[in-house]
Chain A
C-alpha cells in the first residue's frame, strides 16, 4: 500500500502575546495509507484538531509539510484539496435544505443538473436520508444532521474524508450506532479516513491504526490491540485503559525480568517496553487495568478495603483502598452467585501478573 498522505515535522505555534508561545503542534509526523482508517486520539488541546485543520487548509502550519500522494500541498487552496471534512458542529448551511446542502459541493464543481440530482439521491440512500431532502437543518435531529454532513462529503466521491470529532454532539446510543455506520461506509466505499477524537472507545472500535497524541506530539502509534495491550507509558495506559497506578520500588533487575516488592510480596514483571529502562531501587508505577484484577474471598496474595461500590449492569465497579491509594476494579456480573462486597469489607485481590506494566514515576 502506498502512502496516501504524509505529515512531515508539522509545527504550529500560536503566540499569546509578549513572546509567550504555545506549540499546538510540535514536529508532528503521520502517514496514512490508501484505504486506511487512521484515528488521531488525544485529550482536548493536544493539537489533533489543529493537525486536521492544517490538512484541510484552514490553517497554515508554522513549519513542516503536508504531502498528498507524494505532492507537497502546503500552498494549495482549501477548495482545491478535495478532502471533505465532517465538522464537529456539522457546519450545515442553515439557509439551505438537505438537498441543497448535499448538492453544494457538486454545484461548486459545476456538475450538470442531472448528475447532481442523481448523485444526491444516491448519497441520501447511502446514509439513509431519503424523504428528508426538503427539510432544513434546523428541522432535523442531531443524528440526521450528522448524516447530512456525512452525505455532503460522500457525494463528492472523495479519496479521503476528514472527521473532526463527528460524534461528540450525539447521545450515547446514537453515537455507537453512527460509529458502525461510518465504519460500514468506509468499508463499502474503500475511502481513506483520518478521524480525530478524544473518545478512546470510538478509536478502539473503528480504527485500523491509532495515533495517540499529547502536547502536539505523537506518543504512541499502532493497531488498537497493540495500544490497548501494551501502552508505551503511563499517559497512554491511563488514557486508553484507565489503568490503576500503584507506587512500588524496583528490587532487582535480571534482563527483562524486573522484580518488584509490594505488600511484602515479590512480583516479577516482564518488562518488554524498549523505550524504558529501570535501575534497582527506583520508585516506579505498577499499572494494571481494572478488568485484570479479581476479587475473591479465597486467600490471596494481596488485600484491600472496599471504599465504594457501583453497579453498572454488566459489571460492578469497586473502588478499593490499596497500599495507601485507591484503585478501580471491574468485576464481571456474568455467571451465577456473584458475591458482592460492601464498603469497609476487607477483600482479597488477585492480579493477573502477566498484565502488569511498569512505568517511570
Chain B
C-alpha cells in the first residue's frame, strides 16, 4: 500500500463514518432481530419459552415444519441436479445452442417471485390450458407439494446453475481425459474425478437452494393449498390471526437453519478450490461425452428451456385473453384494469426501488472500503453485520421491522422510509461482497504502480481505484434494483395503503383468481427489470452474458 493512499485510510473522518454505519447496521439489522426474538419469548410478561412449547405441540405447526423440510429437500435436490446438468452441458459438452441455454438458465432469476406459480395455474390448474384443454382432466393436483416442487425448482435451479458453472469450469477438462486415457470408463471417471471435484459446488448449491425454498413465501401462498409451510404459517398467524408471539416464533424457527446453512456454505466454498499447480488446458474438448451423451444432454436442456419459455409465453398470453379456460378471445381489458388499479403502485414501487438502489450500492462500496482497511478497528464486525442479512429470512425481517419500528422513538411503519430501509439493508450483502472482491483486485501492486508513476492519492482514487470498482458498483446497483422490484416475503408485512408494492398487488390479484390482471402486472415487471438489467450490463460492460456478474450470487427468495 502506498503511503499517500494509506493516509486517506487513516483519516479520522473514516472512523466516524465507520461508527455511523455500524450504528445503522445495528439499528436496521440487529435491532429488528432482537425485537422479534424478544416477542417470541416474552409471553405473559416474563421471559418464557411457552410459545415455542405451544408451537411444537400443535399438530399444524409440526406439519408446517416437516412440510417445509420435505419441500426444501426435494427442491434443493432437483434444482442441483438440473443446475449441474445445465452447467455440464453448457461448459463441458459440445452441443448446439449453448449460448441460448445459458440465457434461459439465467432468465428465471429476473422474474417476479411467484410468476412461475401463476403460470403454473394457467397451465395446469382447474381451468389450465394443458390440464383442462388438452388432457380434459380437472387438475393434476398442482396445489400442494408436487406443484410447489416444480415451481420452486424452475425458479431456483438458475441459482444452482450459477454456483455450479463456476465450479465445473474450474475443473480442468484434461483431468477427465487423463483418467480415461489411463483406462477408466466414463462412469468411473465421472464417479472418481468429476463428482469429487465438483462436490463442494454441489453441496453449496444444495444448501443455498434449500435455504431459498425454506424461506420462499410467494409460491407456497399461491399454490401451497393445504400444504402448509413455515413461512406462510408464520404470516397467517402474525397477520391473519394477530397472534404475534406465535407468528414470530414460527419465523424464528426459519432463522435457525438459515443461519446454520449460511455459515456452513461459506466454509464449504472456502475450501472448494483444488488449485492445479500448473497451467490449465483451454482446449475445446469433447470431454466425457459420446455423441449419445451429448444428444441426451441436449434434449434435457431443450426440454427445460421449452418449459421455461412456455411459462413466459403463458404469462404474456394470459395478459391478453379474456377469461382463461372459458373465453379465449383477445382483450385489452386486463391491461386497462391493471392500469386503473396498479399504475399508482407501479410508480411507487419503481420510485422506492430507484431511491434505494443507489443508496444500497454506495453504502455497499463504502462498507467494502472500510472492511478492507487494515487500520480500522472492528472492520471484521462491520463486515459480518453487513453480510448477516443474507442469512435472515424475509419473513423474519418483515416481522422484526413491524415489531421494532411501530412505536417511538422509531415509529416508521406505514412510511416509505421503512420500505427503503428494508430494501437497502436486505440487499446490502451482495454489494458489500462485490465491493470487497473488486477492491482486493485494485489494492496492492496496481495502486503502487500508479503511485510509482507519479499519481497523487486523489488522482489515484479518481483515475485508478474508482474506475476499477465501477463495474462492482453498477452490478450491485442492478442486483439491488431487481431485488427491490421483486421483493415479497419481508415487505408484505410492511406495505400500507399509501405505499403498496407490485408483488403484493399481483399476489392479491392471483388470490382472487384475477389471473389476467396478475399476468399483465407480472409481464410489465419483467419488462421493466429487463430494461434495467440491460442498462446495468451496459454500465458494467460485461460482454456475452448480458447480465451483471453479481447475479451469480443472487439469492433465491
Contact = CB atoms under 8 A, between A and B. Distances in A.
B408 interface: no
Interface stretch (A31-39, A51-59, A280-288, A303-311): A51-59
A95 B171 CA distance: 11
Interface residues of B, number: 29
A109 interface: yes
B416 interface: no
Interface string A85-122: 10111111111000000001100110000000000000
Nearest to B175: A91
B332 interface: no
Given A91-B174, A93-B179, A138 B185 contact: no
Contacts of B185: 77, 79, 108
Nearest to B189: A79
A145 B278 contact: yes
A12 interface: no
B171 to A, nearest CB: 9
A84 interface: yes
B280 interface: yes
B197 A104 contact: no
B6 interface: no
Given A91-B175, A93-B179, A95-B197, A142 B277 contact: yes
A59 B4 CA distance: 55
Contacts of A59: 285-286
B280 A109 contact: no
Contact of A91 (B178, B184, B197): B178
B286 A94 contact: no
A90 to B, nearest CB: 6
Contacts of A89: 172, 174, 276, 278-281
Contact of B275 (A53, A87, A94): A94
A326 interface: no
Contacts of A153: 182
A175 to B, nearest CB: 14
A145 B277 contact: yes
Given A89-B172, A89-B276, A108 B182 contact: yes
Contacts of B278: 89-90, 142, 145, 169
Contacts of A152: 182
B333 interface: no
A105 B277 CA distance: 22
B277 A79 contact: no
Contact of B181 (A49, A60, A84, A140): A84
B410 interface: no
Contact of B177 (A82, A91, A108, A145): A91
B183 A53 contact: no
Given A94-B276, A140-B277, A142-B278, A85 B181 contact: yes
Contacts of B186: 79
A105 B42 CA distance: 64
Interface string A293-313: 000000000000000000000
B183 A87 contact: no
Contacts of A104: 179, 182, 184, 192
A85 B179 CA distance: 10
Nearest to A141: B277
Interface string A251-293: 0000000000000000000000000000000000000000000
Nearest to A153: B182
Contact of A60 (B175, B184, B275, B286): B286
A156 interface: yes
A93 B175 contact: yes
A59 B197 CA distance: 23
Nearest to A50: B283
Interface string A48-85: 01000100111110000000000000000111111111
A138 B277 contact: yes
B197 A79 contact: no
Contacts of B277: 137-138, 140, 142, 145
A225 to B, nearest CB: 33
A78 B285 contact: no
Contacts of B196: 95
Contacts of B3: none
Contacts of A49: 283
Interface of B: 172, 174-175, 177-186, 188, 192-193, 196-197, 274-281, 283, 285-286
Given A77-B185, A89-B279, 7 more contacts: A83-B181, A88-B279, A88-B281, A94-B197, A105-B182, A140-B277, A153-B182
16 contacts: A57-B180, A78-B177, A78-B181, A79-B180, A79-B181, A82-B183, A88-B279, A93-B178, A93-B193, A95-B196, A104-B182, A104-B184, A108-B182, A108-B184, A138-B274, A138-B275
